[in-house]
Structure formats: structure tokens, C-alpha cells
Structure 1
Amino acid sequence: MSWLSDVVPTPAGPFTFEWDPKGKELVIKRRDVIYWTSGHLTNSTFENIDRNTGFLSVSNADEDYIMFTVSSNQFTPQYQRNFSRWQMKYDGNIVDDFTKQAYGGHIM
């Protein structure tokens, strides 16, 4: 859930970030109305998310979740192996803290 505002860090804002297991997509809703979607997950990528990331969806009788991995290999220098974190902002955007890329209805 988003913050109420940029200065009020209370998770009582109008936006939620959800995983839709039936549609296999990430969804941002504004007061229960779809505001933005990632597009369908196909071959470890989403239609509307441009990043060098592999997404994996797990859905069975016991659990339903999604996770992602950032690509790196043995030849990637240690200082370039960064962990990424997504944060939902008060305006409904999801922002990658490392790349500063924003996803959602408004471009920051």
C-alpha cells in the first residue's frame, strides 16, 4: 500500500501493488480500480517492464508468489553487483531504488 503523501509515511494511501496470479501480471490499483499493469509474464519478462531481470512465478495449492533476480555472472565486477529494491511511492509509482526507473501511471 502506498504512503498517504510524500511527507506522511503512513501506509494508508490510495494505491496498492499486487500480483495477479490468474493474469500473471503485476497490478497497481487506485482504490480498487486498475491504474497500471505490467502486462503478462512471458518467458521471465513482463510486457511493460524494461529491465535486465528474470522474473519467476510460483503458483500451486500451497503458495502463490513472484520473485525476480538481477542478472550478473562471474565476470561482473563485485562493485557492479547491486541488489535492487522496489518501493511504492505515494503517487502510485513503483521505483527501482538502484536504477531510479519508475513504473506505473506517472513518470517521475
Structure 2
Amino acid sequence: MLIAVAGLAVIGIGVYHIVKGVTRKFEEDLQATGGGNVGRAVVVTGVAGYVAKGLALVGVGVLFGWAAIGADPEKATGMDGAIKQMATLPAGTVLLVVVGVGLILYGIYSILRSRYASM
């Protein structure tokens, strides 16, 4: 039961990241220094990064839920297990490339964000 709750929590966090990326709510977290506008690169990497991070977290949450349903805690894996499972899907390679590029963009966004975040 605890694994199912953990899975639902991780899925919820993943959905939150997807919504935050798609709706560009992350821009509210950025406070431009000197009143300037946030650059296009920050917005593009933020949208793609948040969505990819959210999809990866949803994948992990689904695996936790799968382990809970099967009553086999050994099936519960982390991000690496979600990635391995994703690779077995028919379009798994394409999905992995999209998520991988998105996570790289999230990293770039995090670096770019440091210019705008309040300290």
C-alpha cells in the first residue's frame, strides 16, 4: 500500500511539472534582474525541460504503481528502471531520445535560470 501511495505521489509531482511547463508557470518563478524580459532560450528550455522531467517522473510513478499492483516490491525501480522499461516499448527509442533531450534542456534551463532567480 505504501508503494502505491509513493507511486501516486511521484505521478502527481510529474503531472505538476508537465502542467508547469506547458502553461509556462515557471516564468513566475523567474524575476528578471533590472526589470528585463526573460530570454527566449530560457522559455524554450524551460518548457521542454519541465515537460520532459514530468514525463520521466510519471514513468517512475507508474512503475511504482505496477509494483504495488503486482504485490512485488522488487519491481519498484527508480529512474533507471523507468528508462529501461521505456526502451522496451515499440517507440521506446524515440521516446528515450525525446526525454533525454528534454532533460538536457532542463539542465540548460537551470543554468540560464540562475541569471533571473532571486537569491
Range into which the TM-score falls when normalised by the shorter chain: under 0.3
Instruction: Point out the structure with the larger strand share.
Output: 1
- Higher Rg of the two aligned structures: 2
TM-score normalised per structure 1: 0.26
Q: Which has the higher contact order (CA 8 A, sep 6+)?
A: 2
TM-score normalised per structure 2: 0.25
